[in-house]
Amino acid sequence: MVLYILQPPIIVFRSFQQLNVSASSIILEKEGVYMLIEEIMTRDVQTLQTTHTVRDALDVMRRFNIRHIPILDDTEAVVGIITDRDLKKAIPSSLTTGEHGEIYSTPISTIMTKNPITGHPMDFVEESALLFYNQKIGCLPIISNSKLIGILTETDLLYKYIELTGANQPGSQIEVRVPNVPGILFKVSKIFHDHKTNVLSVLVYPDKESSKNKILVIRIKTMNPLTIIEGLRTSGFEVLWPNVPGMNL
């Protein structure tokens, strides 16, 4: 699978193959195709009908430990979404006095978000992540042929980010400031190759101090990065982290 991300604020790599390109226009390679929603979405989706009640939604969320429920009509088309936030707004606090039993029997159609934003299984993950950010949504029902086939949540995106960065694997992190010029990633990768060090991931950030540079955040599969740091500095690269005072390289 391949994920192309062109000129974003953050770029994630899973290997050092074909990195002889500009640090401002990067390609993430992973076996030949784009990363699609269908690869990371949740397929076993819990749904409710518009006639179900607030109590029904609350029970489903508690039983399956979920925070979003797509709402379907009689034709199984998605007509709404209900979230844990919707329920919190509707259900009175336990500190509130008085009887509120009628609230639990309220149809969820009265508190759900109608006509929610939806996605397609062939949409790109990075575009969907941008949609989450811009629209401030927590989930995306995935529709194909007018039918619900999955759901993409903030948790799905976060877990994929963790996988891409290698944060779920033991290793060390190094931050390096590099010139924003074509071929610079290839030069950096050669140092890791020479030291026979496996790279788990690389993130590329803009340098806040100068647009002429980029910041590489490199996660490597070793608990002792000192020889790598020495190699980077010997090659003329500025290592920003680790840069502990008194560290003897």
3-state secondary structure at position 196: coil
When pLDDT is averaged across residues 57-75 and rounded to a whole number, the result is 97
Report pTM. Answer: 0.74
* Confidence at 248, pLDDT banded by 50, 70, 90: low
Domains 3-34+170-241 and 39-160 share a fold: no
Phi/psi-derived region of residue 183, left when phi > 0, alpha when psi is between -120 and 50, beta in every other case? left
User: What is the pLDDT, as a whole number, of residue 107?
Assistant: 95
Check: CB of residue 72 under 8 Å from CB of residue 148.
yes
Alpha-carbon gap, residue 90 to 85, rounded angstroms? 9
Check: CB of residue 156 under 8 Å from CB of residue 42.
yes
Domain residue ranges of the chain, discontinuous segments joined by +: 3-34+170-241, 39-160
* Confidence at 10, pLDDT banded by 50, 70, 90: very low
Rg of the Cα trace of the chain? Answer: 24
pLDDT tens figures, 109-132:
999 999 999 999 999 998 999 999
pLDDT at 91 over 90: no
* Confidence at 244, pLDDT banded by 50, 70, 90: low
Alpha-carbon gap, residue 188 to 238, rounded angstroms? 11
Tell me the percentage of the chain whose pLDDT exceeds 70: 80
* 215 compared with 101, residue with greater pLDDT: 215
Six-digit token string for 56: 């029904």
Q: Which CATH number does 39-160 carry? A: 3.10.580.10
Q: Does domain 3-34+170-241 have CATH number 3.30.70.260?
A: yes
